Amino acid sequence: MRSKGDDGGVTVIAPTEGLTIAEAADRTGLTTHTLRYYERDGLMLHDIGRSSAGHRVYTERDLTWVAMLTRLRATGMPIREVKAYAALCRLGDGNELERLALLQAHRARVLAQLAEVTDHLGAIDNKIGIYQSKLDAAGDRGSTARP
């Protein structure tokens, strides 16, 4: 939540309930260092709230966003594109076409990678089948197969 400060700046007001950075790290499977990096590098959807002691307070909305960032990174989206996507989301409505284009381009890359991995998996399955057939034909006598 944000409010205007007396000096005209924006002050982030901590939510009444939330998670510490350690709890957020535990829930997301990321390290506290990664969460700080996401915040510092402009990847978060908004500023993370702070407690009265200055500690980060993460909301469910923050964790949902982190989960999306994690999926984008896990599927190979470069940080610069994640930053661009986050920036578009922060701007709000009106740039859905740009967001869609960015995600569709990423999806196409992911599908190409998936097809390549599927092809590799087929070759591995084929090799497993050869070894399994040899062992079955030998009656599991422990014959030595060559790679």
- For position 6, what pLDDT does the model report? 46
Q: Is 4 a residue whose pLDDT tops 90?
A: no
CB-count burial class (<10 Å; 0-12, 13-18, 19+) for 38: buried
Kindly state the percentage of the chain with pLDDT values over 70.
84
Beta bridge partners of 4: 10
- Tokens of residue 89, six digits: 């989301």
Task: Report how far Cα 137 is from the mean position of its chain's Cα atoms.
Answer: 46
pLDDT in tens, 87-133: 999 999 999 999 999 999 999 999 999 999 999 999 999 999 999 99
pLDDT digits (tens, 9 = 90+) for 15-65: 457 999 999 999 999 999 999 999 999 999 999 999 999 999 999 999 999
Best CA proximity match to 48, nearest among 59, 34, 60? 59
Digit-coded pLDDT (tens) for 56-92: 999 999 999 999 999 999 999 999 999 999 999 999 9
What is the CATH code for 1-77? 1.10.1660.10
- Whether the CB-CB separation of 35 and 24 falls below 8 Å is answered with yes
**According to the model, what pLDDT value does residue 139 have?**
83
pLDDT at 8 over 60: no
Q: Report domain extents, the chain.
A: 1-77, 93-147
